A and B are shown apart, each in its own frame.
Chain A
Amino acid sequence: MTYDERLQNVSVLGAAGKMGSGILLLTAIEMVDRSLQPENKGKTFVLNAIDVSDEALAGLLGYLKVQVRKIAEKKTVWLRKMYAEREDLIENYDIIDEYIFDVLRMVRPVTSMEEAFRSSLVFEAVNENRALKVKLLSRIKENSQKDVWFFTNTSSVPIHLIDEEAGLDGKVIGFHFYNPPAVQKLVELIKTDNTLPEVEAFARQYATNLKKVVVPSNDVAGFIGNGHFMRDGLHGMKAAAKLAEEKNLSLYEAIYMVNKVTQEYLVRPMGIYQLMDYVGIDVMQFILNVMNPFVDDEDLHSDLLDQMMEQGVKGGQFSSGAQKNGFLKYEKGRPVAVWDVQQKQYVPFETFSAKCDEMLGSMPESAVAWKSTLRMKNKDEVLGRFYTDLKTTDTLGAELALHYGKCSRKIGEKLVADKVANNPDDVNTVMLTGFYHAYGPINTYFD
């Protein structure tokens, strides 16, 4: 079966979800683009968008229509070539509309799993629930009329377990997109010892066509991205607890300070607490629970997370994409207050931040803002200067930052030592591309 033949009948499970809808969009575009190639004229391509929620599926075509238009508008020059023989399509308007129609008529939003029995490729993006994933995939495998291959988007379940438990005979690979899949360039590719080479070759081809940056990760719960982020988050919570104790502060004050240090001193797009809110405290707790049984030398668990969950403070996003309140409270997307687990209420920054900022001290003049590093050509040099200065700065902020940076590096190095990542570059690529860090965690800035 060729690459194109395999793409002729595809199913996405959980197609109406956050990740599923993006995966559906990208797959639909790839399938239509293949179908427009001269050698595929007249062939039928089918993409089943499978989900249990009728409500969510109802909105899916509208989402696709808007997104496909944006994509088509950016490649109209190419589309005009593809539709050159269609005398009825003259203006860009006509051609873009036809392309949208070609995508939409290929997509079948359905609630019945049986549709997947005729697919040669199944993308799985249902909830992060091992039993559910195994149940769905084994049912498809048993009933499939094709030699079906599976791509799973799981964030934390080891792929070999899904393979074994669902009886997939090595015809499965972890294809881990970042959120949102249509925007984020990074994909972690996780093969097991059993994954067939042709499955991997296909996955690589597919990722290349989608213009993704592929980082291979070994099949260890959490893979590289979550492997780093979860531990970095746990460290952030420990750092705040320690700071509160040593300096006799309230925990919320320490959380504010650690968040500030991880954003401003470590030159990251957001502080660690804001990032945990962004991912979702519930999601984080869930992934930690999945990961924890697979590691023996550390305890991937946080009482603070449990406490937050008990208090019903979960972070995550509204369907509009706006940030929900978590450790921090947000107004117009900016943090303005911090949750006090003792009093069970938010404490506005302005009531205490001056004291904390003073304790942290001021940053050296060579400090850089994350945003300014985005297009910086001599980023290495500028960051090097800043961290060199930080090492001779005698402030609490500098001390916390240097300690945090070292710890972040240790986490990265451990991922290599534990053979989750093949090398330090892969760890750095994941953090740079998937988390938009200004520099990879494995560096020499903090030596």
Chain B
Amino acid sequence: MKKLRRKVYMAAGYNTISLGTGRKEFNPKKERPGIEHYISEAGQGVLKQIGGAENVDESVIGNFMAGRFNYQGHLDGFIPMIDKGLSMKPAVRVEGACASGGLSLVTGIRQVLAETSDVVLSLGFEVQNTVKAIYGADILAMAGWFKKRKKGHAYFFPGQFSDRAGAYYEKYGFDRTRKGMARWYANAIENARLDPTAQEYHNTNPDPYATALKMKPNGAAFVDHLTVLDCSKVSDGASGIAICSEEGLKRIGVDKKDAVEVIGFGHAVRDITSDPTDLTELETIKHAAHQALENAGITMDQVGTVETHDCFSIAGILAVEALGLAAKGEGADYVDAGHTSRTGEIPFNTTGGLIGWGHPTGGTGVHQAVTIWQQLTGNAGDAQITIDEKRPYGLTINMGGDDVTVTSIVFKRGA
């Protein structure tokens, strides 16, 4: 990938809460806010920090399946609803399954690089508690190849990643892998409790590690190799962030030190109709993340924190390996040793990730960027980690489908 021809920044991030089971205000029997609410709240949350809609040149909105969850297409049409000042300006909706948020970001980055815009409003959202999980599974399965749906599991994606977990257990051992997965869950809960917008913010379990370790996968009730604690949440939520050029930053009146600079990014897609060559490897993640690192001209030992796409705990462990932090088969041990916890060598998913913060599918990629922005600019509140001077970079990995579409971005605090 070519070097970035122009400096690109992100600032003014905003997250709605991630609503779903776990949140006290969630009641599946009561009516809940719709997509209009989430899009408006996230959009306005950004606009307030950047001097209003007048400063926005164009907008991108990432979403996966509003067409089925909410019977709504034509989503760019909702951008001017956020604020009249966005009316008659360009807006585009992007979709790449659960990487829709990441696509919203890289599309905005490209718009700034293309010099057609200096300020892009990037949003991502999903409102998925409109259907029961068993039907939500059908909708999310559309991130796979439909021709494989018939043979797939009732819970299609948990089924796919259950197969990956099963292959991993077989190759590297069940007990040590389950320990790593339990630690992954415990880290997610510990981090989520520090972020008031997180879905697991209200979680009070005194020992999430023990709970996760005790629970055994049961294929008769769910999938063969994963428990529900290995899975991300069903969430309603939205996130937004402003993507700017240097001029753009000036226009919105945000100081560079309150912004993060995009140092490099990667974006790769694998053939959806073919099976992964190795179930115990996330090759597209590996490819896109290394592309991002190379594009940024840095190595992993300079990265201080990572937001990775842990739709399932096994995906978190495989990402650790894909990044080269642990050798193949040793990712689970690396996680269980605490290296990815908030006080570890390289803290992962510091506001809970998809398992702890939540996974409003089309919003997740943007949420990851917001978390990195908060952490690198010292805006993460109770969830704040210390960023080591020697490791000033933040990295995001957002995945769509079973390692099909991946975006990865390297950030550093603006200076």
> Do A91 and B149 have beta carbons less than 8 Å apart?
yes
Kindly state whether residue A80 has any CB partner on chain B within 8 Å: yes
- Whether A92 pairs with B150 at a CB distance below 8 angstroms is no
Q: Are B154 and A93 in contact (CB under 8 A)?
A: no
Contacts of B150 in A (CB 8 A): 87, 90
Q: Does B141 contact A (CB under 8 A)?
A: yes
Distance of A93 Cα from B150 Cα, bound (Å): 12
Residues in A68-118 with C-beta less than 8 Å from chain B: 73, 76-77, 79-80, 87, 90-93, 96
| Residue contact A93 to B132, C-beta cutoff 8 Å | no
List chain B residues, Cβ under 8 A from A73: 132, 134
Contact in complex: A93, B153 (CB < 8 Å): no
Query: How many residues on chain A are close to B (CB under 8 Å)?
Result: 11
Q: Which residues of B contact A91 (CB under 8 A)?
A: 138, 141, 149
The verdict on B135 contacting chain A, using a C-beta distance below 8 Å, is yes
Please, how many angstroms separate the alpha-carbon atoms of A91 and B135 in the complex? 8
Which chain B residues border A92 with CB–CB below 8 Å? 134-135, 137-138, 154
CA gap between A79 and B154 in the complex, in Å = 9
Which residues of chain B from 142 to 183 have any CB-CB distance to chain A below 8 Å in the complex? Answer: 146, 149-150, 153-155
Residues of B within 8 A of A80 (CB): 153-154
Bound complex: CA A185 to CA B73 (Å): 46
- Measured between beta carbons, the chain A residues less than 8 angstroms from B135 are 92-93
What sequence of 0s and 1s flags, for each residue 344-381 of chain A, a beta carbon within 8 Å of any chain B beta carbon? 00000000000000000000000000000000000000
Instruction: Please give me the residue from chain B that is nearest to A79 by CB atom.
Output: B154
Most buried by B among A76, A80, A91: A91
Bound-state CA distance A96–B141 (Å) is: 16
Shortest CB–CB separation between residue A77 and chain B, in angstroms? 5
Report how far A28 CA is from B86 CA in the complex, Å. Answer: 57
Cβ distance A374 to chain B, nearest Cβ, rounded Å: 20
Asked if B154 contacts A77 (CB within 8 A), the reply is yes
Per-residue contact bits, chain A 220-258, to B (CB 8 Å; 1 contact, 0 not) = 000000000000000000000000000000000000000
Nearest A residue to B151 via CB reads A84
CB distance from B223 to the nearest CB of A (A): 9
> Could you say which residues of chain A place their CB within 8 Å of the CB of B221?
77
CB contacts under 8 Å to A, within B104-155, are 132, 134-135, 137-138, 141, 146, 149-150, 153-155
Complex Cα distance A89/B149, Å? Answer: 10
Binary flags per residue of B84-118, CB closer than 8 Å to A gives 1, else 0: 00000000000000000000000000000000000
With a CB–CB cut-off of 8 A, which chain A residues contact B141? Answer: 91
Residues of A within 8 A of B153 (CB): 77, 80
Of B138, B155, B220, B222, which is within 8 A of A93 by CB?
Answer: B138
Tell me the complex Cα distance, A91–B134, Å.
Answer: 10
Contact of A76 with B134 at beta-carbon distance under 8 Å, contacts A91-B141, A92-B154 already known? yes
Q: How far is the CB of A88 from chain B (nearest CB, A)?
A: 10
Contact of A90 with B154 in the complex, beta carbons under 8 Å = no
Question: When chains A and B are docked, how far (Å) is the Cα of A286 from the Cα of B68?
Answer: 54
Cα–Cα distance between A296 and B221 once the two chains are bound (Å): 52
Query: Which of B138, B153, B222 has most chain A Cβ within 10 Å?
Result: B138
Question: Which listed residue (B137, B149, B155, B222) contacts A90, Cβ 8 A?
Answer: B149
How far is B155's CA from A73's CA once the two chains are assembled, in angstroms? 12
B146 to chain A, nearest CB (A): 8
Q: In whole angstroms, how far apart are the Cα atoms of A80 and B159 in the complex?
A: 13
**Minimum CB distance partner of B155 in chain A:** A77
Q: Which residues of A contact B154 (CB under 8 A)?
A: 76-77, 79-80, 92
CB contacts (< 8 Å) of B149 on chain A: these are 90-91
B155 / chain A contacts, CB cutoff of 8 Å: 77
Least distance between B131 CB and chain A CB atoms (Å): 9
User: CA separation between A77 and B155, bound complex, in Å?
Assistant: 8
Query: Smallest Cβ distance from A141 to chain B, in angstroms?
Result: 42
Render A323-343 as a binary contact track against B, CB cut-off 8 A, 1 for contact: 000000000000000000000
Chain A residue nearest in CB terms to B146: A90
Residue numbers in B under 8 Å from A93 (CB-CB): 135, 138
Closest to B138 in A: A91
Tell me the bound Cα distance from A90 to B147 in angstroms.
9
With most chain A CB atoms within 10 A of its CB, the pick from B135, B150, B153 is: B150
Q: Chain B's nearest CB lies how many Å from the CB of A158?
A: 41
Closest to B152 in A: A80
Q: Kindly provide the distance from the CB of B158 to the nearest chain A CB, expressed in whole angstroms.
A: 11
Q: In the complex, which residues of chain A have a beta carbon less than 8 angstroms from the beta carbon of B138?
A: 91-93
Bitwise interface map of A from 269 to 300 toward B, beta carbon under 8 Å scored 1, else 0: 00000000000000000000000000000000
Closest residue of chain A to B137 (Cβ to Cβ) is A92
With both chains docked as a complex, state the minimum distance between the C-beta of A90 and any C-beta of chain B, in angstroms.
Answer: 5
Distance, CA A90 to CA B132, complexed state (A): 18
Residue ID in chain B nearest A77 by CB atoms: B154
A77 to B153, CA, bound (A): 7
CA distance A80 to B135 in the complex (A): 13
A44 to chain B, nearest CB (A): 27
Mark out the residues of chain B between 199 and 249 whose CB falls within 8 Å of any chain A CB in the assembled complex.
220-222
The residues of A that contact B220 with a CB separation of less than 8 Å are 77
Q: Chain B's nearest CB lies how many Å from the CB of A85?
A: 10
Bound together, the chains give a CA A92 to CA B154 distance in angstroms of 6
The closest CB in chain B to the CB of A89 belongs to B150
> What is the distance, in angstroms, from B160's C-beta to the closest C-beta of chain A?
15
Complex: A423 Cα to B247 Cα, angstroms: 87
Instruction: Look across to chain B and name the residue whose beta carbon is closest to the beta carbon of A74.
Output: B134
Expressed in whole angstroms, the minimum distance between the Cβ of B18 and any Cβ of chain A is: 24
Can you offer 23 A-B residue contacts whose CB atoms are under 8 A?
A: A73-B132, A73-B134, A76-B134, A76-B154, A77-B153, A77-B154, A77-B155, A77-B220, A77-B221, A77-B222, A80-B153, A80-B154, A87-B150, A90-B146, A90-B149, A91-B138, A91-B149, A92-B134, A92-B135, A92-B137, A92-B138, A93-B138, A96-B134
Q: What 5 A-B pairs have minimum CB-CB distances, sorted nearest first?
A: A91-B138, A76-B154, A77-B154, A90-B150, A92-B138
- A73-B134, A91-B138 known; 14 other A-B pairs, CB under 8 Å? A76-B134, A76-B154, A77-B153, A77-B220, A77-B221, A77-B222, A80-B153, A80-B154, A90-B146, A91-B149, A92-B135, A92-B138, A93-B135, A96-B134
